[in-house]
A = this chain, B = another copy of it.
């Protein structure tokens, strides 16, 4: 395994919010260390090309669109959405064989544009199913994006170990100290890690209390999170009164946290949330996604960036962390991801 091994390549990463990319502009984002240009063709289909002209390496996203083609800002080579050069204004107009831009398969699902950065053909069977995000009115779902100066695995750690919420976050999602003592139930498959906590608290989490029959009384709660490679965590959280722990009539929300490495120490953090209550209130919906965005940016962000600064490396285990019960699921994810990356590289080496 070479020293450069860092990312699982043959996997779906989120490249952008669907709303970040439109039919008139050229969008740039650095993903797994590569500059990528994304735009929508005139029929709305998102396409991705490496954001580097093969001639003299100018970013194509600084160029001009014309229909579904893009011309390089520097010497005017024109490329279509398949990365093929369709026009060379120089000399006789001969198009050199090498005038091809790498393209990346995209798939738009659940309010995100996902990208396949691997060398193998894109594999839709590796797509996790988050269609729950699409089920319901637009006024009950929100999406947001944050940039963080940390290795992406620190963000996965943050979500996989929810015991931090009573310590780091404010009153609105406190479990009143109930969460930390619980060792979650862990369920594993060859490619997923699931953890679940259940507890009762009085009053309920403030984000749910007003939507329960008796806001000031005790309620049963759960967190249920599932990591799926490369960097997706589906998190469900809910509360219920008088349900005997069935959670059949819970007040809850279904979230997706997903992280895409920009490079070793920078990450694109995407988030979506759908709730099953008060679903028709657009103002409430806007307030809700803003509040969650602000919590990640203002509460998690500074501490996780300070951790990265103090670590000075992306190799967490090399620093001999003291691990505790609350680290179980996060550590299982780190080990499984490391194993997957190792296997991917071994099979690539074998194929060569």
Contacts and interface: CB of A to CB of B under 8 A. Distances in A.
A58 B322 contact: no
Given A324-B88, A324-B96, A58 B163 contact: no
Interface stretch (A10-18, A66-74, A283-291): A66-74
Nearest to A299: B73
Interface in A140-191: 157, 161, 163-164, 166-168, 177, 180-183
Interface in A313-343: 319-327
A91 B326 contact: yes
Q: Copies per complex?
A: 3
A321 B90 contact: no
A306 interface: yes
Given A321-B56, A324-B91, A74 B35 contact: no
Given A98-B322, A303-B74, A321-B54, A91 B167 contact: no
A126 interface: no
Interface in A66-110: 71-76, 88-94, 96, 98-99
Given A73-B167, A90-B324, A163-B90, A59 B306 contact: yes
A278 interface: no
Contact of A157 (B56, B163, B180, B307): B56
Interface of A: 35, 51-52, 54-59, 62, 71-76, 88-94, 96, 98-99, 157, 161, 163-164, 166-168, 177, 180-183, 302-303, 306-307, 310-311, 319-327
8 contacts: A55-B327, A56-B307, A58-B307, A72-B167, A92-B181, A92-B325, A94-B324, A98-B320
Given A55-B321, A91-B324, A98-B322, 19 more contacts: A35-B310, A52-B310, A54-B321, A55-B323, A57-B321, A58-B310, A59-B306, A71-B167, A73-B167, A74-B164, A74-B167, A75-B164, A76-B167, A89-B166, A90-B181, A90-B324, A91-B183, A92-B181, A94-B325
